[in-house]
A and B are shown apart, each in its own frame.
Chain A
């Protein structure tokens, strides 16, 4: 079975902090993704990566950055956390034209 592991299930941070969300997959997938999910807005793509050190902006990249130094690990960084970044964050991985597999999600609260 595909395993996508997100480092935290729940996280509480303060406004202005730099926040790191980590994601690791164990299936040697080429692609990795970061989404946020908010009630009524569905899944929104923040960034994705199709190879080590390669990244592309998704639909809502503002206020976020990413890092992919190793194939299995994809990090999402909130440069200066704001209250409007309170959300459920979901990491996913896949191979080309194959379905994405999701981690359990991180519920992030910014106070």
Chain B
């Protein structure tokens, strides 16, 4: 079982819709969770951090964390073509306080 799992996609949504990206993780003791956006040929860029259960909103982005179910999700409201990218989920496992484990990413396509 992979430590951090994401659907590779592509996930296609029409412009203006809500895009929902999901990530599950195996280490129940994980404490820190991050979402990165990566455009083709570019490096990952941090867009959200979340540390406690519930929702965290930042502009059009909302991160949701459910530690009991071991999943973290990213919602993108009013999706724009510029949101088309690969989204990486990253998790700090328990005990691995220096390293994170990255998922392989979900490719999002926003259709104009």
Contacts and interface: CB of A to CB of B under 8 A. Distances in A.
Interface of A: 31, 33, 40-43, 45, 48, 50, 58, 90, 96-105
Interface of B: 31-32, 34, 42-46, 49, 88, 90, 92, 97-100, 102-105
Best-buried of B45, B90, B100 by chain A (most CB within 10 Å): B100
B31 A102 contact: no
A98 B31 CA distance: 11
Given A42-B104, A97-B97, 16 more contacts: A33-B99, A42-B102, A42-B105, A50-B98, A58-B99, A96-B98, A97-B31, A97-B32, A99-B34, A100-B34, A100-B46, A101-B46, A102-B43, A102-B44, A102-B45, A105-B42
Given A97-B32, A99-B90, A48 B99 contact: yes
A97 B102 contact: no
A33 B43 CA distance: 14
A104 B43 contact: yes
A45 B92 CA distance: 14
B46 A99 contact: yes
A40 B8 CA distance: 9
Nearest to A51: B98
Contacts of B42: 104-105
Contacts of B45: 102
Nearest to A43: B102
Nearest to A32: B98
A87 B104 CA distance: 16
A43 B98 contact: no
A73 to B, nearest CB: 18
B70 to A, nearest CB: 18
Q: Kindly list the 7 A-B residue pairs having the minimum CB-CB distance in the complex, ordered from nearest.
A: A42-B104, A102-B43, A43-B102, A105-B43, A99-B34, A99-B46, A50-B98
Contacts of B43: 90, 102-105
A104 B90 CA distance: 18
Contacts of A100: 34, 46, 90, 100
